Amino acid sequence: MTYTSDKPPLAESTDQLRARIPGWGADLDPKDRPSVPKLRWQEDRTGAHWDFPDRQPEKWPRERSIEHKFLPPVFGTSCPPKGVSGVIRRFAYRKYSEGRAAHWLLLLAADRVDAWESHLRSFLTARPDNPITETGVLSEFSRHGFSSRIGQKRSDVKHQVLDPVIVAGPWVLAVAITVTLARKLTHRS
């Protein structure tokens, strides 16, 4: 009992557990657990045959955390920064360490700007963004959107109604503002 020194008893004995659960206790000994202890010298270097790796060529100035001594030898080359979001991103990296909220808040702001820039840019291409196909919302019909939610005790249904607002809200707002402005302008002339 908790208010005395014994541990509350378990419903099943070790033998019962072993019989019911395949592999029960196979890793009882911490020595058999691959991540114990946390730091363990890896003699084989996991296949690496260098002390410090070759350097990947830097094809454009690669943004990096100011907590790094130098550009690490290997890095991803997806989506170089561009446009206004690119300017914000470069600034966030150049100016603030990972320890500063400003670093992350600027990067998040840049993500929102990037989405807008990209949506607008897409309208100049043969393949404009299509919110119906890109949100995959049609799977609501093919994947039982109704019965997957109704009558279940799901706690996420309460805020899922916010998702369409997040996706469509800014567009509705943008259209409303444009229409209002256009009306005002035409009214004046």
Partner 1 sequence: MRAMVYRGPYKVRVEEKAQPVVEHPNDAIVRVTMAAICGSDLHLYHGMMPDTRVGMTFGHEFIGVVEEVGSSVRNLVPGDRVMVPFNIFCGTCWFCARGLYANCHNVNPNATAVGGIYGYSHTCGGYDGAQAEYVRVPFADVGPTVIPEWMDDEDAVLLTDALSTGYFGAQLGDIVEGDVVVVFGAGPVGLFAAKAAWLMGAGRVIVVDHLEYRLVKARAFAHAETVNFTECDDVVVHMKKTTDFLGADVAIDAVGAEADGNFTQHVTAAKLKLQGGSPVALNWAIDSVRKGGTISVVGAYGPMFSAVKFGDAMNKGLTLRMNQCHVKRQWPRLFEHIRNGYLKPSDIVTHHIPLEHIAEGYHMFSAKLDGCIKPLIVPNAA
DSSP codes, 102-144: HHHHHHHHHHHHHHHHHHHHHTTSSS---HHHHHTTTHHHHTT
Categorise residue 162: left if φ over 0, alpha if ψ from -120 to 50, beta otherwise: alpha
In the structure encoding, which two tokens stand for residue 78, read together? 């997806």
Q: Residue 119 interacts with partner 1 (CB under 8 A)?
A: yes
Choosing from 111, 150, 171, 183, the residue that interacts with partner 1 (CB under 8 A) is 111
Member of 19, 33, 175, 183 binding partner 1 (CB under 8 A)? 33
For residue 81, count other CB atoms closer than 10 A to its CB: 17
Within residues 141-180, the interface with partner 1 by CB under 8 A covers: 142-145, 148, 152-156, 158-160, 162-163, 166-167
Q: How far apart are CA 148 and CA 128, in angstroms?
A: 31
Task: Note whether 61 binds partner 1 by CB under 8 A.
Answer: no
Q: Is 101 in the site for partner 1 (CB under 8 A)?
A: yes
| Interaction between residue 5 and partner 1 (CB under 8 A) | no
Q: Which is nearer to partner 1, 131 or 175 (CB)?
A: 131
Under rule CB under 8 A, residue 27 binds partner 1: yes
84 in contact with partner 1 (CB under 8 A) = no
